[in-house]
Amino acid sequence: MQTLVVGIDGGDEDILSSMNLDFLSRFFNQHGTEDTKEDLWNRGWGSILSGEHGRTTGGFYEKPKLDGSHDFEQSFGTDDYENNDEIIPLWERLNNKGLKVGFMNVRTTMPAPEVNGFFVSGAGGGFKPSGGVPEEACYPSSVHELLSESDYIWETRFMDSGVKEISNYIDLINETVIQRADAFLQLCNKYDPDFGFIAQTETVGIQNLAMAELQPINENDQDEYNEIQISLQNFYQNVDDTIKNIVKELSPENIIVVSDHGAAPYKHSINPDAFLQRIGLQPTVGNTEQQSRAVIRKVGEMAPRQIVNLVSSIYPSLRDKATRPNTNWDKTKAFGHRYVPGIYINDERFFGPISDTQSDELIDEIITKFNNSDEAERYNLEASRYRSVHAQSKQYNLLPDIWIDKPETMFFEGGGDFIEKNDNYRTLANQNLEKADRNMFTGKKGSKPLLSYDFDYDLGDTTQPYDLTHAYDVILDSIQTQ
């Protein structure tokens, strides 16, 4: 194998280095890591695979549907790469060089593209991992047969697993990463690719769930570790062992270790809608209408998902009422959305009341009031223009008009107060995981992804951190050096 890329979802250098791992710690010490930074709205895997930011690909964790509603979606996959004339996805670039490829579990690649070699798509991008690996995630079809015979676990996520006991969940993710590594080696032995890319994704899930346990290990501020922390250390050592074994078996000439983002504690949420309501730009509906919308929302919770989807397709307005029960869209001038670090003007994109001529003044008003708020000073928040700065972007209409910079420990939610403490941020030993209702429980994505490699590469200008589009160039350079 010429080049092996090891992806670690949410791989964070500080966390991985604190685990004293036999392979990865030695690799980082010997070869160093790049100064990289991601904005955390952009999908990091999408940048690694395309060499482009979401402003070109549309690869964002949440983005407006632009279908006449105020709905958002997470979907992003193979078609988005292949139907965009500004993108040549990594697998195509490598196949065009005459190289056989083997991809395993890299997200945002559903359905599996037809390649010279083999491809097993990862979950994500709107595809849930529950129910096992689907046929459309595998190319060629014989790959699906092989994985089915071995009871391959596509991916294990906390909420989808249904497991509510931390030790059982760690056992399950240990099994998942071992099984995935074994399947990757089987497929490499069968198809003999020149280039391999395997992503271990359970790291991000355990970090999001158990960051309160991981932080003391990361900061080395405990004399001894509890049972959960010891199990976490064993998990990371297990991931490291799978990587070490893959390298031993395949003997690649070049090795690249990369992640789609880093990791951070989740200590506060931020909800721009609450701020916009405070300054009178997002009025709520009257009591009668609010009660009727609450009924709709309650029925939506009780009805089978098929019925909810049918009602939503027939009556799109009901869907908006169910998801944002208090919003008067006819009078709303601006709004935020979960996962999006910014604010949208309710303009013609959303059939809203704000015209293009009114938008500029409104953006300035929001930025000024936001930056002068007590919360902005207290929590180090800063709003600035975004969409107009990227007016030449292919995905211009998906962009929020205003960007909000925030501390690493904050996450944009779609509800709650303007700034709200995450009461879940405490050790799991003091928690009832039966009540854990989200994957991002005590941890969240961090802005410093991992990029390390064992060959020479001309970095050029290093005065500013790179984003993950740089990883695409590094990967291609590893092939050109042969």
Q: How do residues 287-300 score in pLDDT, each as one tens digit?
A: 434 444 444 444 55
pLDDT of residue 237: 98
Assess if residue 427 is contained within a domain: no
* Number of separate domains in the chain: 3
pLDDT digits over 383-432, tens only? 999 999 999 999 999 999 999 999 999 999 988 999 999 999 998 876 77
User: Same domain for 151 and 291?
Assistant: no
Write out the two tokens for 363.
Answer: 């953006």
- Among 389, 421, 453, give the residue marking a domain's end: 421
High-pLDDT (> 90) share of the chain, %: 76
User: Same domain for 77 and 56?
Assistant: yes
CA angle (246 as vertex; 240, 252 as ends), nearest 5:
120
Q: Give the domain range for residue 407.
A: 268-284+327-421
User: Same domain for 133 and 114?
Assistant: yes
Assess if residue 303 is contained within a domain: yes
Burial 96-112 (b: 16+ CB within 10 A, else e): eeebbbbbbbbbbbbbb
**For all residues of the chain together, what is the average pLDDT?**
90
User: Same domain for 377 and 453?
Assistant: no
Q: Which of 13-27, 147-161, 224-238 has the lowest mean pLDDT?
A: 147-161
User: Same domain for 457 and 407?
Assistant: no
Contact predicate 212/425, CB 8 Å: yes
Assess if residue 435 is contained within a domain: no
pLDDT of residue 129: 80
In the predicted model, is pLDDT for residue 314 greater than 60?
no
User: Same domain for 310 and 243?
Assistant: no
Is this structure's pTM higher than 0.85? yes
User: Same domain for 62 and 24?
Assistant: yes
**Interval 338-350 mean pLDDT:** 97
Assess if residue 238 is contained within a domain: yes
User: Same domain for 307 and 277?
Assistant: no
Q: Do you find a cis peptide bond into 465, omega within 30 degrees of 0? A: no
The DSSP output letter for 396 is G
Assess if residue 114 is contained within a domain: yes
